[in-house]
A and B are shown apart, each in its own frame.
Chain A
Amino acid sequence: MKKRRREFNWQWLAVVMVSYTGVGFGQDEDDLTKANAALKQAQEEEKTAYDEHHSRDMARAATLEIARSERRRAEGALLSLREARKTLEQIPDAAKGAPAQKNLSDKIATSRKVVERLVPDSTAADKAAWEWLVSAQALRDKTAARTTAQRNLQDLKANAAEKAGVADADAMRRAVYELEALRAFEITHWATYQRANMQVLVTQTREAARIAKELAAAETDPERVKMLEQFAAQEAKEEIAAAKSVEEAKNAEIGAAISEIYPLKAAAMGGLKPLSPDDWDYAKARHLLVRAGFGGTPQEVKQLHSMGLYKAVAQLVEYYRQPAARVPFDPVPPLAPDLLEAKVQTDLIRNRAAGARRSVERGQVAKLRQSWLKRMVESPRPLQEKLTLFWHGHFATQDSVVNNSYTLHRQIQFLRENAGGNFGALLYGIVHDPAMIRFLDNNKNLKGEPNENLAREIMELFAMGVDQGYTEKDIIEGARALTGYNLDQASGGFRFLHNQHDLTDKTIFGQTGPWTGDDLVRLILKQPSTSRFIAWKLFEYFTYRDPAKETVENLALVLRTNNYALEPLLRNLFMSEEFYSSRAIGNQVKSPVALVVGLLRDLGANQLTSYAGLDSATGEMGQQLLEPPDVKGWRYGRSWINSQRLFIRYNTVSDLVKSAGRPEKKIGVDVLALLEKDEECDGPGKAVDLLARACLARPLNKEKREKLVSHLGDLPPRSEWSAKRTELNAKLRELLVLMLSMPEYQMT
C-alpha cells in the first residue's frame, strides 16, 4: 500500500507531515502566533487556488461543450458524404451524374471545413482538461495544507490544555484527530472528483479518435488523410493518459485515503487505538476471521489478508452486503391439544396424545438447532451468526422452560436480524419477545400482582450489570412498568394486556411517570452503565477476559456516541491494537460450537449431510444451542473444559476429520486437497507447517513440530499425489488428528 501511495504523487503528504515537526517547540505564545499566521497564509493560498481552479473549471466546461458539438457536426458531415458517394455510384451514366458529382464535392468540402474546426477544438478541450486537473490537484493540496494548518493550531491548543489539565483537554485532542480525519476524507473526495472528470476525458478522446479515423477513411487527399491519422493517434495517446489518471484516482480513493480516515476518525470519536495498517499480517487476518467469524481455509485467510486491514474488517462487519445463508427451516407453531384430549379417561391414551405432540416439538427444536449449526458452517455472513450466538447467550432463553420451538425460532431470528444493528432495538425487542416473556414469567406479571423476574434480569443481566446503577426499588417499579407485556399462546406472538397493565406512576432511576415497558427500556438506555456493560461483554466475547476499565470506557464511548449502533463499535474493536494483542490471539478457550464449526470452516469441509451428530456433540461438550445453563447464559473460558469434555472434544474433532461429518461414507476430510492448493508444499515439514497454519492460532511449538514431521515421514513427489490419493489422505488425516488432539487446538 505504501508503494502505491508513493507512485501516486503523494509526496505532498510527506511535506505536510514534515511541517508538523516544526510546530511545538519554543515559546507557546510564539508558536500560537506562528500557527495562526500559517493558517491565515494557507487560507489565502487556498483562495487563490480556488479562484484559479474555478476559472479552469469553466474553461474546461466551455471547451468540452464546443468539442462535443464539433464531433456531432463531423458525424453529420460524414453521414452526408457517405450518402452522396453512394448516390453517385448508383448512377451509371456519367453525364446524368453531374448534379450528384457536384453534391459529392460539396459534401467533401463541408467535411474538410468541419475537420478544420474539429481538430483544434478537440485539442483545446484536451488541453483544458489537463489544465483542469493541474488546478484541481493544486487546490486539493492547498485545501489539505489549510486543514493541516488548522490541525496544527488545534494541536497547540490541545497541548496547552493538556499541560494545564483542563477538563475538556480530551475533547480538544479529539478535535485534532478529527481535523486529520477531515483532511484524509477530503482527499478521497478529491480523488473521486478527479476520477469522474478524467473519465470524461477518456470518453471525449476515444470519440474524437474514432471520428478522425472514419473521416480519414472517407478522405481522398493523402495530405489530409495523414493529418487526420496523426490527430487520431494523438487522441488515442491522450486517452491512454486519461485512463491512467482515472486509475490513479481510483487507487487513491480505495487505498491510502480510506485506510487513513478510519483510524483518525476512530481517534476523533474516542474508541480503541487502531492497529497500524503496516502491522496487518496473515496471522492477524486469520485471528480476525476466527473471532469475527468461525475461521476459514488458508485461501480465505489469504484473500482477507490481501484486502488490507480496513477492507477486511469492513468485509466482515458490513455482512449485510453478502448474500444471506440459504438454510431453510420450517417453523411450525406447536400443536394445540385436541379439545377431546382432556376428556379422555385413560391416562395412557391422554399421555400418548400429549407425548405425540411433545415429540413433534422435540423434533422441531432439534431441527432448529441443527439448521443453526449448518448456517454457522455455511453462511457467507459469519459475523452475523457469531453475534447471534452472542446475543443468544446474552438474552439466554432455555428451550426446556419455554417448550415452544416456534417462539424460540422467532427469538433467534429476531436476534439474527438485529445482531449487528442497534442494542437499543434488541432491548426493545426482547421485552416484547414471547419466548423471553414466557421464560422469565412476565406472562405472570399482572397489575396488582407484579412478577419481578424480567425486570430484574433486564437490569442485572441484559443491560446494566449486577448492581450497576439500579436499586431494588428500581426493579420493583420496573416490574410494574412491564405488567401486561404478555404473549398470545395460540399465535405465539406478543400480546399487550391493557387491563393487566399498571397505569399508575412509577419512579425509575429517579424519574417519575406512568411508565410502560417501552419507557423502562428507554430509561435503561440512558444509564451510563448500560453502554459500559454491553461494551465490556462484547469485548470479552471477541477479545479477552478482564479488560482494563479504560478499554471498556473507550469502547462504551463509541456505543454512546452512536446511539447504541453496534457497527461502529465492532469496526473499532476489530481494528484495534488490543484485538490483535498477544493477550488476545490464541488465548481464548474455544466454545464447543466454535470448535466444531471452526474445524469445518478451517478445512473447507462444509458438505455435511446431517448436523445431528454435531448437535449432540456440542451438547455433550456443554453448549447445547437453545439450552444455555440458565438466564445468565454460558460462562465461557475455562468453564468449557473438564477431563471428560476434553476427550469428547478430541474424539469429536477426530471423528469429523475421519468422516467429514458423513460417518455413513467414511470418506474423511480431503486433507491432500489443502496441500495441493499450496504450490510450495512438497515435503513433510511444509505439510505440517501448512496444516498448523490452517488450524492453530499460534505457531506450533518447535519440539512438537519436529515430532509431527517425523511421524508423518516422507511424502512422495507431487506428481504422484493424485495417484496415491487415498493412501496419502489416510496418512495426512492421522497426522491432522494428532495435531488437533492437543491442548493448543482448544485455544483460539
Chain B
Amino acid sequence: MNQMNIATRRDFLTRGLGIVGMGTTLPNFMLRSALAAPGGASNDRIVVSLLLTGGPDGLTLAPPYAHDKYYDLRKVLRVPARDVLKLNDEVGLHPRLKRFKELHDDGSMAVVLGTAYPNFNLSHFTGREIWEAAAEGISSRKAGGTGWLGRFVDYACKDPDPALNIAVGPGRLPLIVMGKDHPGIGFVSPDSFRFKGNDSAKGKALYTKLNKMMANSAENDLQFVSQTAVNANSASARLGELASQYKTPITYPDTQFGTSVRTIAGMINGGLSARAYYAAQGIATFGGYDTHADQPRRLDVLLDELGETVSAFYRDLARCGNKDRVLTFTYSEFGRRATENYSGGTDHGQAQPMFLFGPGVKAGVHGTQPSLSDLDARGNLKMQVDFRRVYAGVLDKWLHIPSKAVLGNEFSPVDCIA
C-alpha cells in the first residue's frame, strides 16, 4: 500500500469523524466506508469500460494479415503485412497500436475476435444500448433501464454509497453503469459533479449547512431527498478532493478521452472504493470510429490516442500498486462491413474484436477470426462469440460473481481471464 493512498484514507477518516464531532448526520454509507477503509474495501477488483464510439473497423484494428482474402476485401484500407504488429501467425495489431503490443508482451492485453450478438441492430443508439444492457434476450427494455456494470455493483455492494459506479465524460449517464440501487454518477470531470451555484467560500459553507439533514424523523420524501443530498455532497467532496489533489508524473494524451481516463486513475489511486468506471473515446471527435469515409487518417489519430491512453493508465496504476486490481475492456455498438466502400471508409457491420487489459487477463488472441469469405447476406462478418460470453468471463473469473445473476442467463465464459 503506498504513501498517497494511506494519506488520503487517513484524511477521509479524519474528515468523517470531524463531521460526527460537529453533530450532524453522517451519510449512512460513510461511517461504514470510513471504518472499513484501513481494511480491504479498496482492494476490491475494479472494472473499467471504454466505449469506442461509432463502431471501429476490426479488420484495421486487428488485421488478419495472414489471409489473402483480407487484401481482396481491403484494396485501399489494408494494413500491409509488414506493418502489422503480429500477435500470432494469423492476426496482429495496427501499427498505431504499438502500446497495445507492449501491454500484450507484458502479459496485460488480450483480444477476443468476432464478438457480436444474434439478429444484430445497426443503429448506433440501439446497438450501444444492447451492448450496455447485456440483458437476457438482448432487448434493453427487459433490463429495466440498467446496464450490466450497474447490476454488478448492485449485486456485489450492499453499501448504498452513490460513488461505486462512475462514468467520466460528456453526455448522458451511460446505461452500462446504471444499477437499480446504485443509479451511478456521471460527470465530465469530478469538478462538474458538484454544486456550481456559488463558488465563494462563504456561500459554499452556507450551502453545506442548508443541505444538512434536518432533525426530522418522519419517513417522507423530503427526508429521502435530504439524505440523497448529503450523500451526493459528500461524494462530490471526495471526488473533488481526489481530482484537485491528483498529481501524476505520467503523461496522458491531452484530449477529452485522455483526461477522462486520467481522472479515473486519480480516483482509483486516490483510494475511492468505486468498482466500475466508464469512459468513452470519440464522443468529442466528430463521429468517433464511425469512419464511413477518410478512414485511415481518422483512425491514425484515434488509435494513437487509444493506445497512449491505455498505456498511460496502466503505468499510472502500476505506480501506485493498483495495476493488478483493475481490468479494462473496450466495446462498441457494432463493427464495420467486411468490404470497404468507395469513399475510403467502411459502413456499419458486425463481429468486431474486443480488447481487454490488465495483469488479470490471459494475454493473447481469443475467439475466432470470422471468415473473410463466408459473409452474411449483407456482406458482414459472422458472429463468432456472443459478447455476453466475454462479460461472463469477467464476472465469473475476474470478479468472482456468478454471471447469471448479472446477465440473467448462463453464458459460457470466454477463457480470456488468467
Contact = CB atoms under 8 A, between A and B. Distances in A.
Contacts of A642: 162, 183-184, 228
Contact of B292 (A351, A707, A746): A351
A742 interface: yes
A683 interface: no
B39 interface: no
A638 B223 CA distance: 11
B231 A643 contact: yes
Contact of B186 (A629, A637, A644, A701): A644
Interface in A125-156: none
Contacts of B222: 586-587, 743-744, 746-747
Contacts of A654: 195-198
Contacts of B163: 643
Nearest to A345: B342
B5 interface: no
B203 A738 contact: yes
A146 B127 CA distance: 76
Contacts of B195: 647, 650-651, 654, 741
Interface residues of B, number: 46
A744 B220 CA distance: 12
Residue from the set B162, B183, B185, B193 with the largest chain A CB neighbour count within 10 Å: B183
B4 interface: no
A642 B187 CA distance: 14
A645 to B, nearest CB: 8
B44 to A, nearest CB: 21
Contact of A711 (B185, B206, B226): B206
A643 B162 contact: yes
Interface in B285-339: 292-293, 337
Interface in B196-218: 196-198, 202-203, 206-207, 209-211, 214
Contacts of A734: 198, 203
Contacts of B224: 638, 641
B351 to A, nearest CB: 18
B221 A588 contact: yes
Contacts of A653: 197
A280 B198 CA distance: 38
Nearest to A697: B222
Interface string A575-587: 0000000000011
B174 interface: no
Nearest to B204: A738
A646 B145 contact: no
Residue from the set A347, A400, A586, A619 with the largest chain B CB neighbour count within 10 Å: A347
B300 to A, nearest CB: 20
Given A644-B185, A647-B236, A741 B211 contact: yes
A746 B225 contact: yes
Interface string B177-194: 000000111110000011
A641 B222 CA distance: 11
B232 interface: yes
A243 interface: no
A586 B228 CA distance: 18
B150 to A, nearest CB: 12
A643 B228 contact: yes
Nearest to B223: A743
B278 to A, nearest CB: 13
B343 A348 contact: yes
A644 B210 contact: no
Interface string A344-376: 001110010000000000000000000000000
Interface string B221-245: 1101110110110011000000000
Nearest to B221: A589
Interface in A595-651: 619-620, 629-630, 637-638, 641-644, 646-647, 650-651
Return the 9 tightest CB-CB contacts between A and B, nearest first.
A654-B197, A643-B232, A642-B183, A643-B162, A347-B347, A743-B225, A743-B226, A737-B197, A651-B196
11 contacts: A347-B347, A348-B293, A348-B345, A642-B184, A643-B183, A646-B232, A647-B196, A711-B203, A746-B225, A747-B222, A747-B225
Interface of A: 346-348, 351, 400, 586-589, 619-620, 629-630, 637-638, 641-644, 646-647, 650-651, 653-654, 701, 704, 707-708, 711, 734, 737-739, 741-744, 746-747
Interface of B: 125, 141, 145, 162-163, 172-173, 183-187, 193-198, 202-203, 206-207, 209-211, 214, 220-222, 224-226, 228-229, 231-232, 235-236, 292-293, 337, 341-343, 345, 347
